[in-house]
Amino acid sequence: MEKVSLKVVGMTCSHCEEAVKNALMSVDGVASVSVAFHDEQVEVEYDPEKAAKENLINAVEDQGYGVA
């Protein structure tokens, strides 16, 4: 398992937090996600054999949020 920390911009409330979390959890290989919208911090634990960091970024961007 690999752990990555993403800076996600555009999240303004717990609904955003939930949307980002659900999007990341739906990526194959993602084991756990923790999101804190107030500090724009997203921690993802994933299997690097199944998912790449790029897949995680795409999933977040598909929801309309930015990854800095």
Residues that bind Cu ion (CB under 5 A): 12-13, 15-16
DSSP string of 1-52, one letter each residue: -EEEEEEEE---SHHHHHHHHHHHHTSTTEEEEEEEGGGTEEEEEE-TTT--
Supply the minimum distance, in Å, between the C-beta of residue 61 and Cu ion. 16
Pick between residue 1 and residue 9 the one whose CB is nearest to Cu ion: 9
Pick between residue 38 and residue 50 the one whose CB is nearest to Cu ion: 38
Pick between residue 2 and residue 63 the one whose CB is nearest to Cu ion: 63
Supply the minimum distance, in Å, between the C-beta of residue 13 and Cu ion. 3
Q: Positive or negative CA dihedral for 50, 5, 31, 67? A: negative
Supply the minimum distance, in Å, between the C-beta of residue 37 and Cu ion. 7
Give the pair of three-digit tokens for residue 13.
């409330």
